[in-house]
Structure 1
Amino acid sequence: MKEPPSLLDQDNQKYNSGLRQLQGMQLEGGLATVRCAMDQLAFRSGESNGWSIHQGNDKSQLPREDPKPKQPSDMEMMKEKFAKLLLGEDMSGGGKGVSSALALSNAITNLAASVFGEQRRLEPMSADRKERWKKEVDWLLCVTDHIVEFIPSQQNTNGVNMEIMTTKQRTDLQMNIPALRKLDAMLLDCLDNFKDQTEFYYVKKDSDNSDKGGDQRKDEKWWLPTCKVPPNGLSEMTRRWVQSQKDSVNQVLKAAMAINAQVLTEMEIPENYIESLPKNGRSSLGDAIYKGITVEFFDPDTFLSSMDLSSDHKIVDFKDRIEASIVIWRRKMISNNNSKSHWGSAVSLEKRELFEERANTLLLILKHRFPGTPQSSLDISKIQYNRDVGQAILESYSRVIESLAFTVFSRIEDVLNADTAARSASQAGTGSAKRNGLSAATATWQERLPSYKEAEKESTAETPTSMTLLDFMGWNAADQKESDDKSDFFMGNELHKDSTKVPPAATNKKLSYLEKIENLSGLRSPTSRH
């Protein structure tokens, strides 16, 4: 059995409990200080809550400036980006990521959207945006340095010719990557060229200086700022310089479009897209489009003018139909050449080749006439199911350069359109002012001079009997009749009729005011003799 505690033990327990209570009361006052110290130790690396501890009688906590957050190094950013690419944009690691080719394509597209998405004016890019674009696009393009192909080569070792296989960057990448880099640099330089221009500027739609009345933007791009030029338009030198920049950007746009179209053509058509196609080209095109393409005499411009291409949606739908028919006709021609036709053939091989050529011509015209339209279903399907990393990088890089070139081209066109509108308004105002001044001068002149009728009446009143030239010369009707009889006797009536014709120089006609002055002053050149 356990013995009950003695009186001494009870006193010791009471003493210990009181001592612990006293220590707790003494520690209550410094609890806040302990917490602040713990916070300071926890956030010693610079991520503290912004308060400091001051020893002494002053127990107030003073705020201090937050230290600058530590910027991640380029190596850390590159590791994070490539880790995301290796995981196929699936950071959970669950194996649900996309292919490496599509991940690289999306990375370049997203980078361009974040850097160039705010390029709404003709002005240089900010230094940080330009530096970020050059740095990160170099990271993504460095993958192409390791996409190689084996080529045979010979090396002399101790006088013996040995044929070995060496690695070389793939031909399409070796040709197109430097060209795209050059086009990229040309676009950035073009934007930098607008740094010191002062003849046009931009205003927001809701500002006081925004256009009012007929000068408002008539298109659907309401989010873009409005370009303003001087009242008389741009100077001749500036106008020519802006036009030269437009021509340069247009060349960049065409080159990027050509590279992108070539890469998309070389991509393999996915099986999913082929399975979704109809059995023949007529079903894909529709009766109206099919009849327009298969006529005997085909004019692509006339055919496109008859189509409704008023919106991007209608343009993309038309492109989808044309591309689907091209794929169908091409597969049928290949199957006929291999003598393994699985589809019924109601059209000859020559006609299919002709129809395919016409459809390709229509696609080429559409791409050049509407460069800013969205991608077709075939292009999206090729990009989505592509497994070639090199082609994915070429396609995405050329596409973002094409998009940037089209954006800069559109902004330059806005400036030139504003200049044309300003010059037209200035010329119209000058012409109206001249017409008003001329009408006022004419009215004043008419008020000062008497009317023509009054002057005629006065001259008639002064000379009641008007005299002709015959009166001054002393000729009369009898003399004229006598001369006529003599001429009839000697030369005959027929010859006399020809001789009595009045020459053109003697015909009566109304003379202008200047001609009257010349006749009076004697300064007029002599007329030809008849």
Structure 2
Amino acid sequence: MVRTLTRRFSIQNSKSFHIRRMASGRLQQNLIPDGNDVEDVDDNLQSRGIDTRNAEDQSMEQQNVGESGTGTPQEMPQSDMELMKERFAKLLLGEDMSGGGKGVSSALALSNAVTNLAASIFGEQGKLEPMAPERKARWRKEMDWLLSVTDHIVEFVPSQQKSKDGTHMEIMVTRQRSDLLVNIPGLRKLDTLLIETLDNFGQEKEFWYVSKNDDQEKENSQRVDKWWHPTVKVPANGLSEKSRRWLQSQKDSVSQVLKAAMNINAEVLSEMEIPESYIDSLPKNGRASLGDSIYKSITVEYFDPAQFLSTMDLSTEHKVLDLKNRIEASIVIWKRKMHHKDGRSSWSSAVSMEKRELFEERAETILLLLKQHFPGLPQSALEISKIQYNRDVGHAILESYSRILESLAFTVMSRIEDVLYADSLTQTSSASPASSENSSSNEEDAARMSTSETPTLSDFMGWDIASAKSNSSDLEIYFKGDHDKKTSKPPLSSTPKKASHLEKLENFSGLRSPKARD
């Protein structure tokens, strides 16, 4: 009898545990019922569980069909998240996917990421046409990811804080670094202007592009020195006056973007430290770097930069780049000699400091003219060395971003010049002798007016007694940052005051129509 009671009690306990598990979360009363009540409750709960599972299956089927589900919108953020993880994983690993610590620095990894992104987005932009929406969206999205790093590059600045008792005290707060705070919004604005310029050509119908195999290409419609550019065609009677003026305005706008991007890039590169490996590779004096012929041309008593460039062989890109490397190396040598005054230094020489400073300024003038005439020139050995050994992440982002915008602006400007060149060929072929004489006289008058208004090279160097600066656009004023500078230049002195890179760009008129590479 005792064994029977024990067995019955164990059965009741097992059934009551099953009831508690199935009815969790509800008010439980009399959870140990007797006999048939237990079986009824168990059957009811099992039937409710089956109904609940059926309802869940039906709701899942409805979501799969798409009636009330939200599965599709959740897939896109997941895709972007995976892509962003991949990008930042490469940055953290320094492009060394093995994880062995042999990767590049964070600054160089970010610089390469910006450069590679621009190459994949703008590498196919060979015509004056709007960007594809997919490429434009990808450019915006991934550049926002890369530029988000600059939000965390901060510096301490003083700030005023008012306490509860009304007293003011000075505290230090964090703020985005000054160069990033100024230049990142400016570069974003230049980026937007360039993309808007490309979008403006979506409705253009007065010129078009033909394929390389088209018979019309045999006509004289393409510049020989730009044979790799797409062949552009214009109507037989040329562009309309309205379209011609509009193209010129677009070219002027892109010219201002190019000028601002070049200024930012030059300023950032000048702030980067010169690597010791580059210094060790230099000769001991400027004459050895430049060569006897170039050194004598720069160190003459009366120096004319334009005449100097006219005597140099700049027929190929390689020769221009070689001259640029020589000039930059000599500038570094002369600057180091001026800052190392101890006689024990191997950099010392018998040349006076005043002459060395004069030679350095002449070399910088030549370097600036080379950059103006050949804006699409590859990076020099000094620039590559600075970018490679740079450890400042902020400088790396500013340099790479401004460099790709400079390249894109130069590309757009070259394509606009191709259209204007094709239009000029059409006008020349269809013009009559009488109209040719009138146009030649008009061109002479225009040239006379332009020479009287446009600053010459002497004005640019400060050799004129007084020359007025031309009015700058809002974009120039934005990057210039100083609205109270004098418009007249001081007379030439033995040691002229150095002008900033942007001031030289503004005064030098050659930037308005950069010369293409021969």
Aligned to 1:371: 375
Distance in structure 1 (CA, Å) of the matches to 2:105 and 2:85? 19
Q: Secondary structure at the match of 1:91?
A: coil
Matches within 5 A, 1:311-326: 311-326=316-331
Aligned to 2:53: none
Distance in structure 2 (CA, Å) of the matches to 1:109 and 1:144? 17
**Partner of residue 125 from structure 1, selected from 131, 154, 178:** 131
Matches within 5 A, 1:13-32: none
Distance in structure 1 (CA, Å) of the matches to 2:99 and 2:230? 44
Q: Secondary structure at the match of 1:195?
A: helix
Q: Secondary structure at the match of 1:231?
A: coil
Q: Secondary structure at the match of 2:431?
A: helix
1:343 pairs with 2:350? no
Deviations 1:360-399 (A, max 9, x none): 0111111111100101000000000000000000000000
Give the superposition deviation at 1:76.
Answer: 1.4
**Partner of residue 148 from structure 2, selected from 135, 142, 145:** 142
Which is greater in Rg? Answer: 1
1:80 pairs with 2:86? yes
**Partner of residue 237 from structure 1, selected from 226, 238, 242:** 242
Asked if 1 retains the 8 angstrom alpha-carbon contact of 2:190 and 2:405, the reply is: yes
Give the superposition deviation at 1:341.
Answer: 3.7
Distance in structure 2 (CA, Å) of the matches to 1:431 and 1:351? 54
Matches within 5 A, 1:277-296: 277-296=282-301
Give the superposition deviation at 1:81.
Answer: 0.5
Q: Give unmatched runs, 5+ long, in structure 1.
A: 1-66, 433-530
Deviations 1:134-153 (A, max 9, x none): 11001101111110011122
Aligned to 2:302: 297
Q: Structure 1 residues 430, 192: closer, same or farther in 2, change over 3 A?
A: farther
Distance in structure 2 (CA, Å) of the matches to 1:355 and 1:431? 50
Give the superposition deviation at 1:302.
Answer: 0.5
Runs (4 or more) in structure 1 with deviation over 6 Å come to 429-432
Aligned to 1:167: 174
Give the superposition deviation at 1:163.
Answer: 3.1
Distance in structure 2 (CA, Å) of the matches to 1:252 and 1:151? 31
Query: So what's the TM-score if we normalise by structure 2?
Result: 0.68
Asked if 2 retains the 8 angstrom alpha-carbon contact of 1:250 and 1:405, the reply is: yes
Distance in structure 2 (CA, Å) of the matches to 1:253 and 1:343? 37
Q: Secondary structure at the match of 1:165?
A: strand
Distance in structure 2 (CA, Å) of the matches to 1:235 and 1:388? 50
Q: Structure 1 residues 213, 118: closer, same or farther in 2, change over 3 A?
A: same
Give the superposition deviation at 1:175.
Answer: 0.6
Q: Secondary structure at the match of 1:123?
A: coil
Distance in structure 1 (CA, Å) of the matches to 2:329 and 2:379? 14
Q: Structure 1 residues 131, 188: closer, same or farther in 2, change over 3 A?
A: same
Distance in structure 1 (CA, Å) of the matches to 2:262 and 2:294? 26
**Partner of residue 198 from structure 2, selected from 191, 196, 221:** 191
Give the superposition deviation at 1:94.
Answer: 1.3
Give the superposition deviation at 1:164.
Answer: 2.4
Distance in structure 1 (CA, Å) of the matches to 2:429 and 2:142? 47
Aligned to 1:116: 122
Q: Which amino acid aligns with 1:200?
A: F
Q: Which amino acid aligns with 1:307?
A: M
Deviations 1:95-148 (A, max 9, x none): 111000000000000000000001111000000000000110011011111100
Q: Which amino acid aligns with 1:397?
A: Y
Q: Which amino acid aligns with 2:95?
A: E
Distance in structure 1 (CA, Å) of the matches to 2:222 and 2:245? 25
Q: Structure 1 residues 236, 374: closer, same or farther in 2, change over 3 A?
A: same
Q: Secondary structure at the match of 1:135?
A: helix
Q: Secondary structure at the match of 1:120?
A: coil
Distance in structure 1 (CA, Å) of the matches to 2:105 and 2:325? 25
Distance in structure 1 (CA, Å) of the matches to 2:182 and 2:219? 51
Give the superposition deviation at 1:345.
Answer: 1.6
Deviations 1:189-235 (A, max 9, x none): 00010111111000011124x3224445412533x320000011000
**Partner of residue 395 from structure 1, selected from 393, 396, 399:** 399
Total equivalences in the alignment: 361
Aligned to 1:250: 255
**Partner of residue 266 from structure 2, selected from 261, 265, 279:** 261
Asked if 2 retains the 8 angstrom alpha-carbon contact of 1:335 and 1:342, the reply is: no
Distance in structure 2 (CA, Å) of the matches to 1:184 and 1:228? 28
Q: Secondary structure at the match of 2:159?
A: strand
Distance in structure 2 (CA, Å) of the matches to 1:78 and 1:162? 43
**Partner of residue 91 from structure 1, selected from 94, 97, 101:** 97
Aligned to 1:203: 210
Aligned to 1:412: 416
Distance in structure 1 (CA, Å) of the matches to 2:387 and 2:176? 22
Give the superposition deviation at 1:252.
Answer: 0.4
Moved more, 391-400 or 165-174: 165-174
Q: Structure 1 residues 431, 242: closer, same or farther in 2, change over 3 A?
A: closer
Distance in structure 1 (CA, Å) of the matches to 2:222 and 2:370? 29
Asked if 1 retains the 8 angstrom alpha-carbon contact of 2:223 and 2:418, the reply is: no
Superposition CA RMSD, Å: 1.8
Give the superposition deviation at 1:90.
Answer: 1.0
Give the superposition deviation at 1:346.
Answer: 1.3
Asked if 2 retains the 8 angstrom alpha-carbon contact of 1:316 and 1:373, the reply is: yes
Q: Give unmatched runs, 5+ long, in structure 2.
A: 1-71, 437-518
Asked if 2 retains the 8 angstrom alpha-carbon contact of 1:217 and 1:226, the reply is: no
Distance in structure 1 (CA, Å) of the matches to 2:139 and 2:149? 16
Moved more, 154-163 or 97-106: 154-163
Distance in structure 2 (CA, Å) of the matches to 1:343 and 1:188? 48
Q: Secondary structure at the match of 2:101?
A: coil
Deviations 1:70-110 (A, max 9, x none): 76621111111001100001111111110000000000000
Distance in structure 2 (CA, Å) of the matches to 1:430 and 1:234? 21
Aligned-residue sequence identity (percent) comes to 70
Aligned to 2:429: 425
Query: So what's the TM-score if we normalise by structure 1?
Result: 0.66
Distance in structure 2 (CA, Å) of the matches to 1:251 and 1:155? 41
